[in-house]
């Protein structure tokens, strides 16, 4: 990819670059195919089989909003990818897709050793607004590392109930300033 003509071709016809030998070109091509239902099969193949985790993650992100069995199957397969970037992309994709079937997996992933993956799972649970996630979110807002507590504060805003209000008020006095600030903004906004 040496000149502007190639870059323009990548932008306008990314599908022709999905099998490019350069992983960076494949990653850019996959990212440029977001939502392209006509490319779900090659994107699913990249998500499953590409040697580069950055390409696999970009392919997962690209199929996040594509409905159908091929995209769903690729996401299901990508759940067990060994690279956290891919698993993070899957968690984010489930939140974007509004897939309630992913809630049990997302609940499990909130305990992932990679904090970015855990944060993505928490954010997806908030986006899904599924009551099955509430016990996990209430536990995380108390006991998780600060970045995850802060993300959980935001995720809890879509739920109602005295237990949620109590958890948010408690978070407003959290020992960590970023958790405390996020909760104070929410509690103050709820009056």
pLDDT tens string, the chain, 191 residues long: the values are 455 557 778 888 999 999 999 999 999 999 999 989 999 999 999 999 999 999 999 999 999 989 999 999 999 999 999 999 999 999 999 999 999 999 999 999 999 999 999 999 999 999 999 999 999 999 999 999 999 999 999 999 999 999 999 999 999 999 999 999 999 999 986 65
Give the sign of the dihedral formed by CA 157, CA 159, CA 163, CA 165: positive
The answer to whether residues 109 and 89 touch, using CB atoms and an 8 Å cutoff, is: no
Pair 90, 35 in one domain: yes
Pair 106, 92 in one domain: no
| 65-70 long-range Cβ contacts below 8 angstroms, 24+ apart | 65/34, 65/35, 65/96, 65/97, 66/35, 66/36, 66/37, 66/40, 67/37, 67/97, 68/37, 68/40, 70/40, 70/41, 70/44
Pair 107, 157 in one domain: yes
Count of domains in the chain? Answer: 2
- Which CATH number does the domain housing residue 75 bear? 1.25.10.10
């Amino acid at each position: 990819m040496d000149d502007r003509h190639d870059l323009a071709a990548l932008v306008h016809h990314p599908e022709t670059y999905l099998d490019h030998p350069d992983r960076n070109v494949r990653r850019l091509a996959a990212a440029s195919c977001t939502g392209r239902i006509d490319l779900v099969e090659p994107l699913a193949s990249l998500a499953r089989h590409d040697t580069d985790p950055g390409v696999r993650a970009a392919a997962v992100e690209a199929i996040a909003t594509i409905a159908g069995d091929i995209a769903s199957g690729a996401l299901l397969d990508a759940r067990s990818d060994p690279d956290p970037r891919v698993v993070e992309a899957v968690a984010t994709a489930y939140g974007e897709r509004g897939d309630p079937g992913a809630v049990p997996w997302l609940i499990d992933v909130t305990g992932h050793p990679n904090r970015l993956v855990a944060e993505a799972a928490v954010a997806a649970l908030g986006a899904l607004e599924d009551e099955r996630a509430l016990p996990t979110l209430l536990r995380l807002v108390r006991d998780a590392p600060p970045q995850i507590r802060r993300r959980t504060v935001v995720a809890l805003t879509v739920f109602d109930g005295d237990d949620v209000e109590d958890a948010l008020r408690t978070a407003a006095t959290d020992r960590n300033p970023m958790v405390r600030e996020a909760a104070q903004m929410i509690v103050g906004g709820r009056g």
